[in-house]
């Protein structure tokens, strides 16, 4: 039964439960068996919640995803009574457990998802690889020597390998989209304010943090967005409500759209790797064949370095604040010995930033967002690579690497196509539309105007049907 269920998407599994063809307990037991079999190779799941999952399956609520196994990322959104370590040795050694669900986790639970475990992530989610010193590296199921990217790399590896059909992710600079690209998945960063960061936060890392899920199908992506979207009490702002459920957009005709295409790195950098250029070019041709008007565009506003400079200021300040917050919660000051060198370096820089400089950085990011919005007003969708290169080897971006400044520069280059849309708050999705000659997935990013996830989902569904990526299987799979 386990292998028969492994690559059914969450929507199909929920439908089987509704029809009485399988019970929630059978789904959960099958997922547990897959995790036990695959995780020793991948190190995707760092906290198992098997006993609680089996008990919850026996009393699963009658939501749209009743009984469907799910993995939570071990960062930002926590579940009641479960470990929450954010990739930190400090929290691991303190055996830190959160007492309550965050708002998004409560919505996922009410929808019927069963939490089977928590996934690996880099310390404090600050890296675009998943190699925390606290728990060791997560391996990409397409090639065990390569990174699944980060920071939602554990979730991505779990979904790509077939452990579960969907898993939680957060995205502050590409952390849903780049793991989706490296692992051959659908990864949508919604519009800013589409889902709540409460009750712990109104904003996190300033305005750049978003959360959603990693999935294998567009319909799962849309239906889970319906579950988590909407304001919660005390949120500072929320995205405009959709005119109808996002699930209704899958298969809907988007009409003939104006599509801009770019493969040159933002900020005036070099062109992307030939594999990534080929992926974007093939996608552009498919979109044109589907009736869209497609053209190559530079969009000079995206090259303004001011936005990224503001992002770095906010990020550094946020890392310093994270260390202070966790030290206060645990009751012990966090020292240099408690933190990976890369994060200590960023926090040290953050402590040198004045309040005036922080406010200036926010103003700079807001000005950048307005310029980008104006520059993109002439078209509906922007198509870029998700990453400027194929999945990269493990070890290059470790938080204790000898040259930390080189690591920071490398991470900035890898995030060239993703960070700008955390700054602007626009919805962006990575789609697994291409595989290179080495059999590695190459994601392509589609970006829409603020609040237009509906348009992204319509076009994503068109490409899913045209490409047929759901039949692909990585080297390590259930």
Choose, from 73, 77, 189, 316, the residue flagged as catalytic: 73
Pull the structure tokens for residue 33. 């068996």
Pull the structure tokens for residue 118. 């928590």
Quote the strand ranges of 42-134, DSSP E. 45-48, 69-73, 82-83, 97-98, 114-119
Please name the residues in contact with 411: beta carbons below 8 A apart, sequence gap of 6 or more.
127, 128, 397
151 is catalytic: yes
Please name the helix (run of DSSP H) or strand (run of DSSP E) that holds residue 463, with its range, or none: helix 453-467
Q: Which residue in 373, 246, 353 sits closest to 302, CA to CA?
A: 373
52 is catalytic: no
User: Using an 8 Å Cβ cutoff, are 131 and 181 in contact?
Assistant: no
243 is catalytic: no
Q: CA triplet 212, 41, 141: central angle to 5 degrees?
A: 50
Taking the C-alpha atoms of residue 344 and residue 135, their distance in angstroms, rounded to an integer, is: 18
Taking the C-alpha atoms of residue 369 and residue 10, their distance in angstroms, rounded to an integer, is: 35
User: Using an 8 Å Cβ cutoff, are 208 and 307 in contact?
Assistant: no
Choose, from 149, 175, 195, 430, the residue flagged as catalytic: 175
Taking the C-alpha atoms of residue 421 and residue 301, their distance in angstroms, rounded to an integer, is: 12
Choose, from 151, 152, 155, 191, the residue flagged as catalytic: 151
Taking the C-alpha atoms of residue 109 and residue 105, their distance in angstroms, rounded to an integer, is: 6
The alpha carbon of 73 is separated from its chain's Cα centroid by a whole number of angstroms, namely: 10
Please name the helix (run of DSSP H) or strand (run of DSSP E) that holds residue 90, with its range, or none: helix 89-93
- Give the length of the chain: 478
The residues carrying an active-site annotation are 73, 151, 175
């Amino acid at each position: 039964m386990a292998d028969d269920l492994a690559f059914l998407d969450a929507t199909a599994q929920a439908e089987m439960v509704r029809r009485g063809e399988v019970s929630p307990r059978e789904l959960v037991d099958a997922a547990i068996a897959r995790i036990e079999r695959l995780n020793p190779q991948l190190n995707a799941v760092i906290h198992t919640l098997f006993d609680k999952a089996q008990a919850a399956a026996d009393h699963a609520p009658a939501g749209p995803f009743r009984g469907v196994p799910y993995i939570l990322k071990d960062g930002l959104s926590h579940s009641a009574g479960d470990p929450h370590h954010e990739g930190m040795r400090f929290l691991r050694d303190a055996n830190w457990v959160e007492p309550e669900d965050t708002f998004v986790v409560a919505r996922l639970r009410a929808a019927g998802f069963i939490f089977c475990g928590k996934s690996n992530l880099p310390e404090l989610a600050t890296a675009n690889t998943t190699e925390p010193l606290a728990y060791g590296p997560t391996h990409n199921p397409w090639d065990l020597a390569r990174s699944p990217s980060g920071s939602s790399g554990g979730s991505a590896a779990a979904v790509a390998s077939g452990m579960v059909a969907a898993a939680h992710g957060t995205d502050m600079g590409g952390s849903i989209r780049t793991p989706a690209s490296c692992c051959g998945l659908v990864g949508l960063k919604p519009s800013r304010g589409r889902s709540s960061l409460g009750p712990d936060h109104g904003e996190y890392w300033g305005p750049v943090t978003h959360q959603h899920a990693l999935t294998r199908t567009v319909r799962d992506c849309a239906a889970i967005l319906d579950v988590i979207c909407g304001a919660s009490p005390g949120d500072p702002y929320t995205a405009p409500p959709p005119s109808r459920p996002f699930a209704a957009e899958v298969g809907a005709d988007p009409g003939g759209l104006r599509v801009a295409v770019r493969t040159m790195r933002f900020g005036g950098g070099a062109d992307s790797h030939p594999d990534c250029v080929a992926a974007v070019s093939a996608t552009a041709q498919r979109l044109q064949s589907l009736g869209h008007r497609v053209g190559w565009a530079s969009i000079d506003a995206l090259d303004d370095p001011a936005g990224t400079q503001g992002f770095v200021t906010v990020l550094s300040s946020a890392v310093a604040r994270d260390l202070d917050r966790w030290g206060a919660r645990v009751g012990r000051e966090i020292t240099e010995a408690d933190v990976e060198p890369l994060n200590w370096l960023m926090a040290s820089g953050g402590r040198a930033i004045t309040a005036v400089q922080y406010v200036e950085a926010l103003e700079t990011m807001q000005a950048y967002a307005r310029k980008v919005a104006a520059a993109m007003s002439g078209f509906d969708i922007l198509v870029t690579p998700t990453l400027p290169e194929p999945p990269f080897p493990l070890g290059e971006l470790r938080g204790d690497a000898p040259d930390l400044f080189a690591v920071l520069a490398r991470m900035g280059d890898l995030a060239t196509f993703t960070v700008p849309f955390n700054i602007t708050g626009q919805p962006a999705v990575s789609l697994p539309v291409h595989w290179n000659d080495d059999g590695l997935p190459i994601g392509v990013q589609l970006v829409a105007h603020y609040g237009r996830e509906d348009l992204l989902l319509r076009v994503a569904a068109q490409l899913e049907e045209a490409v047929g990526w759901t039949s692909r299987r990585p080297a390590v799979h259930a």
